[in-house]
Amino acid sequence: MTRYVMVADLRRCIGCQTCTAACKQANATPPGVQWRRVLDMEVGEYPDVRRVFVPTGCQHCADPPCEWVCPTTATRRRADGIVQIVYDLCIGCSACAVACPYEARYKVEKREFAFGDEPTADEELRADDSLIGVATKCTFCADIVDAGVARGLAPGKDPEATPACVNLCISGALAFGDIDDPQSAVSELLRNNKHFRMHEGLGTNPGFYYLWDREPS
Amino acid sequence: MIMTQRGSGAPWLQRSWDSRAACNFIGGGSGAGLLVAATAAKFAGWPYFPAGMLAIALICFGLSMVWLEIGRPFRAVNVFFHPQTSWMSREAILALPLLGFAGAAVIIDQNVVTLPAQISLPATPFALTSAVLALAFLCSQARILRASQGVPAWREPSLQTVIVVTGIVEGLGLLLVLGLFIVMPPAWIIPAAIVALVVRAAAWEHYRHRVTLTAPEPAVAALNRASVVIHLLGHLVAAALLIGSLMLPTSVVPAAVAGLSLFATGAWLKFVVVTRAAFTQGFSIPHVPVRGRVSTALPATYE
């Protein structure tokens, strides 16, 4: 079996938002929509306060609440663990948006542009009306992953089969791969480091891991 | 230890469902409650037609508000595709026979259509079926909120009881209001309304207590603010009026005013829960990253 997951090393993330920009470039998301975003968190109480950058987005849960509540079956989990939305089925009811504990879903009602009322040349070229009025979210760049796998490439290892945010992360904080493959980079990272997942108590079994310390050798 | 945080990632009021969604819970819930109450009153000889018509109108109003909220209204038929797990699908699927049976009961009760003499259709079985479906519809609405894992004030299990009981209370309240315009409702309606409002008050207090343990502070504050109105007008004043109407059985006005209060505070309760207490969970991390412990730590002699 294959289950694609993402690993974010909180020790390495510097909050530069390059992953956010890479995602927006790769997926042509409109203003205000950030499928990959980085939280700038303050943790602790004065005087012991720390600043932590936490990349987040769709956690591609193994037991996704967004899939249970979707009345149209538009949200579905693939065999490789990627949770996807069939835009032609979605009615934009937002039940998935309120079901997601990770605030990962977006819906835009009309085309919006980054600079004023007119689209840029790139926005005009990449406009996709099928994304208006429906739920959207991080896809783990499934089209890139699928195309890469079809060419025999390894997601997480070969850039042409790896999500854009991972490819462009300047500090190497993000990693992607198959957690069921013990030889994959993500499996090795999880073996060698202490890690947690966001809101684990909700039982969603997210596919997004956060590294925070090394395992004692 | 889960460390709370400030800055980005703090809980915020979700905007995905707004007052239109609240109207679905208000219209659908009160309409379903009214169908149940009207069916019970029908057994006591109370006319089904006005209450049935109002209930159908309320349910249709609620569903149409949802239709106005969805991003792709012309694909609305897709809502029926996932009854295996989606309570929204189940609610929609239940709505069809619910409206059908209620409509049939109204038509037969009022003799809107003249049937051939050899066909004798009593309205009661249709009304009874619609009441059962209305209860299921009400429970589906409660489960829609329960399934919304991203909003702590909604996923709290005790909210289900509040939503169901509030629907029944609203239905009884509307029946009391209709009594002002038609004929006095059956005598048992007032004691039933008193019991129902006591149950709602208890369910609401239990829910508020549970939410305090899990929901973000702004959500709890919104519920606390609403609670003053709900308890004062919806429970204390309504109970006093209902008890008063027991003592003055010849006047329907106190009961009708109490009914209006029960309905209005029920609607307000649901409006607040859906639009004002709907703060997301936000983000928190159980550990902070450990940086520089070995390779970059300053020498002990460096002060």
Per-residue pLDDT of chain A (217 residues; tens, 9 = 90+): 899 999 999 999 999 999 999 999 999 999 999 999 999 998 888 888 889 999 999 999 999 999 999 999 999 999 999 999 999 999 999 999 999 999 999 999 999 998 989 999 999 999 999 999 999 999 999 999 999 999 999 999 999 999 999 999 999 999 999 999 999 999 999 999 999 999 999 999 999 999 999 988 7
Contact A72 B79 (CB under 8 A): yes
Q: What is the pLDDT of residue B303?
A: 32
Instruction: Tell me which residue has tokens 């038609």.
Output: B182
Exposure class string for B120-149: b at 16+ Cβ within 10 A, else e: eeebeebbbbbbebbbbbbbbbbbbbbbbb
Contact B72 A92 (CB under 8 A): yes
What's the pLDDT tens digit per position in B168-224? 999 999 999 999 998 888 889 999 999 999 999 999 999 999 999 999 999 999 999
Confidence of residue B299 (pLDDT cuts 50, 70, 90): very low
Q: What is the pLDDT of residue A45?
A: 83
Q: What is the pLDDT of residue B124?
A: 87
Contact A91 B76 (CB under 8 A): yes
Give the right CATH number for B19-275 from 1.20.120.330, 3.40.30.10, 1.20.1630.10, 3.20.20.210. Answer: 1.20.1630.10
- A-B contacts (CB, under 8 Å): 164
Contact (CB, 8 A) for A173 and A13: yes
Report the half-sphere exposure of B222 (CA within 13 A, side-chain side).
Answer: 21
**% of chain A surpassing 70 pLDDT:** 100
Other residues' Cβ atoms within 10 Å of the Cβ of residue A162? 23
Amino acid symbol at B166 = T
Q: Which of B5, B72, B280 sits opposite A90 (nearest CB)?
A: B72
The CATH code for residues A4-214 is: 3.30.70.20
Query: H-helix or E-strand containing A38?
Result: strand A36-45
Contact A71 B144 (CB under 8 A): no
**Chain A residues 92-151 with a CB less than 8 Å from chain B:** 92-95, 97-103, 105, 107, 109, 132-134
Amino acid symbol at B213 = L
Distance CA A15, CA A8 (A): 12
Q: What is the pLDDT of residue B184?
A: 83
Mean pLDDT, all residues of chain B = 91
The interface predicted TM-score (ipTM) is 0.93
Distance CA B128, CA A64 (A): 38
DSSP state of A205: -
- Rounded to the nearest angstrom, the minimum Cα separation between B204 and chain A is 22
Confidence of residue B116 (pLDDT cuts 50, 70, 90): low
**% of chain B surpassing 90 pLDDT:** 81
- For residue B300, pLDDT beyond 60: no
